[in-house]
Structure 1
Amino acid sequence: MNAEPDLARLASSVGDPRRIQMLALLMEGRALTAKELALGAGIEPATATSHLKRLQGDGLLVATSQGRHKYFRLASEHVAQLVESLMRVAPRRQSEVAAHADEPIRQARYCYDHLAGSLGTGLLTALLRKGWLINDAADPGAKQLEVTAKGAKSFTALGIDLKSAQARRRQFACRCLDWSERRDHLGGALGAALADHLLAQRWIERKKHSRVVHITDLGKTQLGRWV
């Protein structure tokens, strides 16, 4: 029996332009219906159904039924990391060659369920500078990060439940290389909890049907003390 992962099958699945577009749309972090994914990929809903079945069959998507609708989302954090990695190495479209660093998606966006762009990288830099996070003591070059005693106290004071974040079946705190900044932002359960906190405090707002994040006036004031 060949126990090797079927990389050719995976490459075929994500290599289709419609399917990779659907995966990119789901990097927003929210579940979308087949119709929404079809519109985003520029195809008919009937055509989208076969693509979604393929992505589900390959373990890249999961679906949840609610009422008359079925909602699709990325199957795991690992799938999000795969899509983000492809974004880092993919060539830029000719229409985007003259893109500017002040584009909204480069300033602030969601990477699955945590913050990316210059906002995300700036937050991680600030958390490391403040001593709330440090590199893994056992392996300073690893992606994993550790929360210090000072950080635990400070995160708790902000209203972030570290125990709940640590209990999630995923990485707790890790570096995630940002495709636009080429620097790390904070991923894992802690990154998601921090993004949720900023959203709840109305420091940021999500743009509908987009990964782009808008920093509110209140957020600019509060985050200015951090970044």
Structure 2
Amino acid sequence: MAALAAAMSDTSRMKILCALMDGRAWTATELSAMAEIAASTASAHLSRLLKANLVTCLSQGRHRYFRLYSHHIAALLEQMMGITSYSIKPPNLKVPAELLKARTCYDHLAGEIAVSLYTALVQHRWITADGNHLTKHGTEKLLQLGISLDKKTKRKECYACLDWSERKFHLGGHTGALLFQFFENEGWINRTPGYREVIVTLKGRKALKKYFHVEI
């Protein structure tokens, strides 16, 4: 635990980790721009993060891409954001409104809209009250939308992920990731390149209201 904390105990390394919370893979050059440091410095930090198994490296031709090691690391970072926000008084919490509205939490949706979606899924019996399981009704509803779970996955079917800005739950796990992917493929949401902000399109607003009873 001490070794892991030591690997994270640097502002630039934390900026890199937070940038990777959008779930995508980035080059060292791109991450250096996000962290506002030199490319050589970013490479040194990435080497430290690799040794700590906080990030992983993917080689694609001449390029090397970095991403978070796993969804477990993303969950840890999201929880840390929630813990640190407790010590900041609301008037001093300078977070962009778009980020509070909707953002990525690694591979699933977070923010105000995601919390509303989670609440609707519980109320309409798509998931159990504790958020840890899909109901038979929920499984059938997902299949009607064309979403089927991978029964071979080692990830939890779904779980209640504490949203650091809303202090309520949004949906994580395999189901949360599938819903996010589905929303993106259907054009219901658009990612903001290089950032965690997610924009819900007009088509998405109508669809979320129609299928999930979520008003935006």
TMscore range, shorter length:
over 0.9
1:48 matches 2:42 = yes
Q: In the aligned structure 2, how far is the partner of 1:44 from the partner of 1:99? A: 26
Aligned match of 1:12: 6
Q: Which moved more, 1:121-130 or 1:166-175?
A: 166-175
Q: In the aligned structure 2, how far is the partner of 1:147 from the partner of 1:93? A: 35
Give 1:97's aligned amino acid.
Answer: N
Q: In the aligned structure 2, how far is the partner of 1:58 from the partner of 1:151? A: 38
Kept after mapping to 1: 8 A contact 2:54/2:69:
yes
1:149 matches 2:143 = no
How many pairs does the alignment contain?
211
Runs of 4+ with deviation above 3 angstroms: 91-94
The 5-angstrom pairing of residues 173-188 of structure 1 reads 173-188=158-173
Q: Which ranges in structure 1 are unaligned for 5 or more consecutive residues?
A: 1-6
Aligned match of 1:105: 99
Q: In the aligned structure 1, how far is the partner of 2:183 from the partner of 2:40? A: 38
The two structures, once aligned, show a CA RMSD in angstroms of 1.9
Report the alpha carbon displacement of residue 149 of structure 1 after superposing the two structures with TM.
1.3
Give 2:204's aligned amino acid.
Answer: G
1:200 matches 2:200 = no
Q: Which ranges in structure 2 are unaligned for 5 or more consecutive residues?
A: none
Q: Which moved more, 1:42-51 or 1:83-92?
A: 83-92
Report the alpha carbon displacement of residue 170 of structure 1 after superposing the two structures with TM.
1.6
The 5-angstrom pairing of residues 58-137 of structure 1 reads 58-91=52-85, 97=92, 99=94, 103-135=97-129
Give 1:214's aligned amino acid.
Answer: I
Residue 133 of structure 1 aligns to a residue whose secondary structure is: coil
Overall identity of the aligned pairs, in %: 40
Aligned match of 2:195: 210
Report the alpha carbon displacement of residue 31 of structure 1 after superposing the two structures with TM.
0.5
Change (3 A) 1:88 1:25: same
Cα deviation, 1:40-78, whole Å, max 9, x if unaligned, reads 111111111111011010111110100111000100111
Kept after mapping to 1: 8 A contact 2:134/2:157:
no
Aligned match of 1:38: 32
Q: In the aligned structure 2, how far is the partner of 1:178 from the partner of 1:93? A: 16
Residue 171 of structure 2 aligns to a residue whose secondary structure is: strand
Aligned match of 1:22: 16
Give 1:208's aligned amino acid.
Answer: P
Give 2:123's aligned amino acid.
Answer: R
Residue 146 of structure 1 aligns to a residue whose secondary structure is: coil
Q: In the aligned structure 1, how far is the partner of 2:137 from the partner of 2:157? A: 17
